[in-house]
Amino acid sequence: MEYELQKPYELQPKFIYEGKKIQPIKYIADFFVKYADGTEEVIDTKGCPDSVAKIKRKMFTFIYPDITYKWITYVKKYGGWVDFDQVNKLRKENKKQKENT
């Protein structure tokens, strides 16, 4: 198994538009892991992702479809480090239960 911290990825290269240099769009992963079987995974820790993080997530999964991409967040209520999408699902379920009681 191999790993890297703060591994950079280019989501869009730099280019020139109407004579102006447009900077590349970059993303820096918190953790990159390459497992013994060759599979690759990027793990990011998120508290509350903003709109830029959500767009970069979409771009990353489009450009690097063979790399598993995970957001994790720490929520003591759910046992510690949990997949961010799972936390959102659990929160929605809890909200529905509260509304129905």
pLDDT tens over the chain, length 101 residues: 999 999 999 999 999 999 999 999 999 999 999 999 999 999 999 888 889 999 999 999 999 999 999 999 999 988 899 999 999 899 899 888 888 87
pTM exceeds 0.75 for this model? yes
Cα angle 5-6-12, degrees, rounded to a multiple of 5: 140
**Collapsing DSSP states into helix, strand and coil, what is residue 100?**
helix
**CA dist., res. 24 & res. 97, Å (int):** 45
- Which token pair is 34? 């390459």
Contact partners, residue 48, CB within 8 Å, separation at least 6:
none
